[in-house]
Structure 1
Amino acid sequence: MRNGRRFSLKRGLTTAALAVLVAAGPAVAQTPLPVPDPLDARDAKRLDRMEKVLRELRSIVFQLRDTGKPVVVQPADTDARIAEMSEKLGDLESTLRSVNGNFETVTRELDQSKRENAQLKRDLATLAERLTAAEGKIAAGLAPPPEDPAAAPVAAAGDPAKDFTAARQLMLAGDYDGAEAAFSAYVANYPDAPRANEASYWWGKTLSVRGAHSDAARAYISAIRGWPQTAWAPDAVVELSRALVALKKPADACQTLGELGRRYPKAPAAVASRAAAVRTQAKCAA
């Protein structure tokens, strides 16, 4: 009974409300619409963002359903992007600092190498000057004595090849006095002959046999002038150093032996062994 009365009351109120709205219709139609609230624009942006998020969630759900694989969600908001770019920029700056540090290290090492090379060139130039001075000193100290007018005349020149062969045969036969005279004549008669240096070398050998170390040293110096690349040249260097030791000039002997390894690095083992013995005798620095 009460329910029936309530329903009748509600229906009556509804009918009355409709009547009022119909009666007020023209007035409502003539009333201007209110100006949109600024908050509506912000609400619209929020709705757009929510719709975007919903679309992404839907895509994630479908991807998970279709593939069955874990889904990697990429942040879509600006703050996350800025944070990611900031991290990458930090890594790039760290890499650049490392590269700059390496570049500075390489630059310092290159400058140091340049300084060391320049110093090495100066040292080599100084050494070359000392060697040249030493050679001049040896040559000056062993200069040949002035010619003696009463000395025996030099034999007349003939055939260089025959005269050299004859001098070598005298030496092989053990006639060192005859060989000494023959080689001395050869050097005087054929100073420009192809075998003049070799003749000086054999002449020095004959002089060393009889202990004429000063004359022998001069002969060896003439033999190795220009540092000829021949089989006998390394032995001539060792013989010159031996003569210098005998003349009480160990420093000059050591300098001469120092040239042996530089000028003749492939000297025979026997020559190298004799050079080592002379180096020990002269007390050369290691």
Structure 2
Amino acid sequence: MNRSILILMSCGVAALAQPAAAQDVGPRVDRLEREMRAVQRKVFPGGAGQMIEPQITAPQTQAAAPGVPATSAIADLTARVSSLESQLSSLTGQIEQNQYQLRQLREAFEAYRKSTDAKLAAGVALPAPVTSDAAPPARDVAAAGDTRDAPPPRINAPAATGGDRAKQVAAIAKPSTGDAGEDAYTYGYRLWQAKLYPEAATALKKMVADYPQHRRASFAQNLLGRAYLDDGKPSLASIAFYDNYKKMPDGERAPDSLLYLGEALVQLKKPADACKVYDELGDVYGDKLTASMKADVAKARLAAKCK
């Protein structure tokens, strides 16, 4: 009698334990479904919150052979839920890591784009253009409307070295008119005319630095670019021309700097870029260009085959 009562009581305890376990598994399954939907919204933004079946599924397990003892259904369900929780946690970590790496790639690309745009704007990457031995136009003469300092046609001659070069530099007269800025520009111009390009560049840079507000500062900056071009330093020349246009857009030689920059691009076989420069020149300075310069721009556009 007592034994029968014990057996009935143990069966009742087991029956009560299974609903309790089921109650514990239910909330965990609900939470897993919510988290899986959140993960799918991250991975499949266009899924509209629907559960999407995976393309790769785990192989189905073989059914247990008859007669093999099996665990209870509640124990199996609990184990499967625990496994799902572990897999979901791992998947969430992988998604966060991928998003972090994607942000790093975007930041690196943005930094590279900004650096490249800055170099292109400054013309640093431009290779050497082919310079002409023809006489420079009268736009670079020492005084506006005064052609007394216009250089004669250039003659190819070997560069002087050592003592000969020092004598050539010493032979260049430094003007003294009482206008220090004018004198500094004229001296740089005379050095450039004598093909003493490094010395001319030094003098012209100093003039711009010492007298940035002088009307000849724009002349000096433009001629600095010409000196660099003639000395086989096109990268520095590009920077000089670009700075003259950007820093002194109202200067008298800002349009000339754009024209020379366009000519250099044509020589570099970049006619499309040259046409953009000529378009900029016309848009900004169209009503201020002299008849002579308009003719030069027309010839340049024809050479670049601009539309």
TM-score for the superposition, normalised by structure 2: 0.38
Structure 1 or 2: larger helix share?
A: 1
Higher RCO by CA contacts (8 Å cutoff, separation 6 or greater): 2
Structure of higher CA gyration radius: 1
TM-score for the superposition, normalised by structure 1: 0.40
